[in-house]
């Protein structure tokens, strides 16, 4: 065999080697939860649209669920999870620890599905009245961020409030037992507590509006950078499925509300629809905007928003690394939206 023929044979053998095959995933591992902000993901799963997209690529879908953010992050960083949804504070936490991830899609803007709910008989008429009270919140989440931001704007030192870390599944039980007089939390738990002797005192949307958008909370889809580099078509398929679900939600809100009423813990279809309307879900085409993700030629406004969240988290001691705008800009990858 001459050298050219040998080289051709060697290249062909390498193309079929296990190493080459390993670079194309046969399974997509994603997360979902009962949070209303996860609705496009949950709908894409329930309707079979995510499976449909992956079947075209010979890929199966593995759904994983985590009780808290740290567990999800551990899975993502260990390589046992490929795509996950994170709030802005969670994304900042990843970037602050030099995690190799890409922010490839925006999920939603929280409007009225996350906020401060107080017991109606606790004598809390304003955020200032939280002084001396016990407030439940899930540490390190957007709700933790929202609570601390609300306290700052109200001029209440956090140390004068008893802030108790409680995982979402345990929030309702702590409320029932009288262990907390208030909670900063997201739907469906927010609505559940309000219906059980509570009043929603302030939503994150109201806090954001009152401060000129300073404390806007958004959620993103995040992927392992290595997974995205090795499996771009899988990520694109995921985007198509989520985009299809988002469009369906826009056009069939009442139908989707009825379908997810039980998951949302809603007492009626209308309450479920109200929860859905409390989220602003974005189509992929809408995200390629200077006001959101940007088109890839320049960072969008959400990059600056994450810098503000990072600075806030740094000032509060939630992360120990100072914000780096270059790191944030580099993490945004809009190619999969096109």
CATH of the domain at 102: 3.40.190.10
Among 93, 107, 142, 114, which Cα is nearest to 31's? 107
Structure tokens at 83: 């795509």
| CA–CA distance, 117 with 197 (Å, rounded to integer) | 10
| pLDDT over 60 (residue 4) | no
158: number of Cβ within 10 Å: 13
80 and 184, same domain (yes or no): no
Taking the C-alpha atoms of residue 166 and residue 174, their distance in angstroms, rounded to an integer, is 8
Cis omega (within 30 of 0) on the bond before 188?
yes
Look at residue 193 and tell me if it is in a domain.
yes
Domain boundary among 185, 210, 235: 210
Kindly report, residue by residue over 203-221, the tens digit of the pLDDT: 999 999 999 989 998 999 9
Compute the average pLDDT of residues 219-226.
96
Q: Which of 192-196, 261-265, 288-292 has the least mean pLDDT?
A: 261-265
Instruction: Answer whether residue 5 shows pLDDT above 80.
Output: no
Q: Do 61 and 182 belong to one domain?
A: no
The pLDDT of residue 8 is above 60 = no
End-of-domain residue from the set 210, 243, 267: 210
- Whether the pLDDT of residue 15 is over 60: the answer is no
What proportion of the chain, given as a percentage, has pLDDT over 90? 80
> Would you say residue 8 lies in a domain?
no
Ordered DSSP codes for 281-332: E--HHHHSSTTTT--SSS--HHHHHHHHHHHHHHHTTS-SSPP-HHHHHHHB
- Confidence check: pLDDT of 17 > 60: no
CA distances from 136 to 77, 142, 159, 305, 313 (A): 28, 13, 14, 26, 19
pLDDT tens track for 126-177 = 999 999 999 999 988 899 999 999 999 999 999 999 999 998 879 999 999 9
Q: What are all long-range contacts of 64-68, with beta carbons under 8 Å and residues at least 24 apart? A: 64/29, 64/30, 64/31, 65/31, 65/32, 65/33, 66/31, 66/33, 67/167, 67/169, 68/138, 68/167
**Is 171 among the domain residues?**
yes
Domain count within the chain = 2
The residue out of 166, 193, 210 marking a domain boundary is 210
What pLDDT was estimated at residue 322? 97
Residue 227 has pLDDT above 80, yes or no: yes
Residues 89 and 152 in one domain: no
CA distances in angstroms from 121 to 182, 196, 199, 317, listed in the order given: 11, 12, 10, 33
Q: Do 282 and 232 lie in a common domain?
A: yes
Parent domain of 73 = 27-109+217-337
Q: Is residue 301 part of a domain?
A: yes
254-259 mean pLDDT: 97
**What pLDDT does residue 296 have?**
86
Same domain, 125 and 101: no
Instruction: Verify that 127 and 86 share a domain, yes or no.
Output: no
pLDDT at 114: 93
Residue 101, domain member (yes or no) = yes
* Same domain (yes/no): 150, 291: no
> Based on the domain organization, do 186 and 51 belong to the same domain?
no
- Do residue 222 and residue 140 come from a single domain? no
| Pair 109, 203: CB distance under 8 Å | no
160 with 205, same domain: the answer is yes
pLDDT of 24-38, one tens digit each? 789 999 998 878 999
Q: Mean of the pLDDT values across residues 238-246?
A: 98
What's the rounded Cα separation, in Å, for the pair 248 and 237?
A: 17
- What is the band of 23 on the pLDDT scale with cuts at 50, 70, 90? low
Do 226 and 298 sit in the same domain of this protein?
yes
Q: Are 221 and 89 part of one and the same domain? A: yes
3-state secondary structure of 257: helix
């Amino acid at each position: 065999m001459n050298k050219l023929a040998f080289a051709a044979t060697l290249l062909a053998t390498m193309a079929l080697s296990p190493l080459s095959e390993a670079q194309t995933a046969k399974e997509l591992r994603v997360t979902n939860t009962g949070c209303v902000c996860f609705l496009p993901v949950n709908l894409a799963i329930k309707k079979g649209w995510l499976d449909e997209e992956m079947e075209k690529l010979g890929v199966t879908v593995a759904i994983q669920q985590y009780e808290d953010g740290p567990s999800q992050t551990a899975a993502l960083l260990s390589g046992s999870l490929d795509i996950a949804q994170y709030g802005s504070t969670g994304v900042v936490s990843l970037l602050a620890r030099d995690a190799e991830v890409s922010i490839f899609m925006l999920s939603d803007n929280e409007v009225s599905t996350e906020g401060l709910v107080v017991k109606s008989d606790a004598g809390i008429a304003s955020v200032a009245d939280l002084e001396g009270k016990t407030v439940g919140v899930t540490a390190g989440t957007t709700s933790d961020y929202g609570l601390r931001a609300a306290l700052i704007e109200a001029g209440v030192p956090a140390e004068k409030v008893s802030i108790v870390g409680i995982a979402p599944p345990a929030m309702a039980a702590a409320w029932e037992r009288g262990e907390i007089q208030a909670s900063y939390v997201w739907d469906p738990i927010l609505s559940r507590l309000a219906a059980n002797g509570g009043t929603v005192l302030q939503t994150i949307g109201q806090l954001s509006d009152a401060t000129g958008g300073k404390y806007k909370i958004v959620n993103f889809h995040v992927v392992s950078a290595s997974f995205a580099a090795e499996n771009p078509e899988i990520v694109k398929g995921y985007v198509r499925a989520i985009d299809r679900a988002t469009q369906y939600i826009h056009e069939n809100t009442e139908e989707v509300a009825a379908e997810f009423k039980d998951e949302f813990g809603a007492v009626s279809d209308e309450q479920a629809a109200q929860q859905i309307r409390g989220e602003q879900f974005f189509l992929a085409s809408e995200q390629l905007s200077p006001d959101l993700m940007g088109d890839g030629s320049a960072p969008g406004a959400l990059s600056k928003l994450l810098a503000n969240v990072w600075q806030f988290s740094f000032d509060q001691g939630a992360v120990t690394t100072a914000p780096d705008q270059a790191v944030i800009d580099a993490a945004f990858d809009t190619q999969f939206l096109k």
